[in-house]
Amino acid sequence: MDREEFINEIERAIEMVQEANEIVDNAVKGKSIQANYEAYGGYGFSQLLGNGNPYDSSLYSLIDKYKEE
């Protein structure tokens, strides 16, 4: 797989993670687990999508690295 194909695959993965994040957010909304999910479980989605700690890498960071090469 060449670099451009890999970048396209990562972009497709980003779309899938965004969709999964929305599904899970809606599933826990108003449930007793919501606070725990927002404090701990949702962090993985945030990190992957670049919305977490700015020092963490994200899928977007991975794309940037491939574009630099």
Measure the CA–CA gap between 29 and 35, rounded to whole angstroms.
Answer: 9
Tens digit of each residue's pLDDT (9 = 90 or more) over 19-64: 999 999 999 999 999 999 998 889 899 999 999 788 889 999 999 9
Measure the CA–CA gap between 30 and 27, rounded to whole angstroms.
Answer: 8
Amino acid 53: pLDDT: 81
How many CB atoms sit inside 10 A of residue 32's CB? 7
The DSSP string of 17-30 is: HHHHHHHHHHHHTT
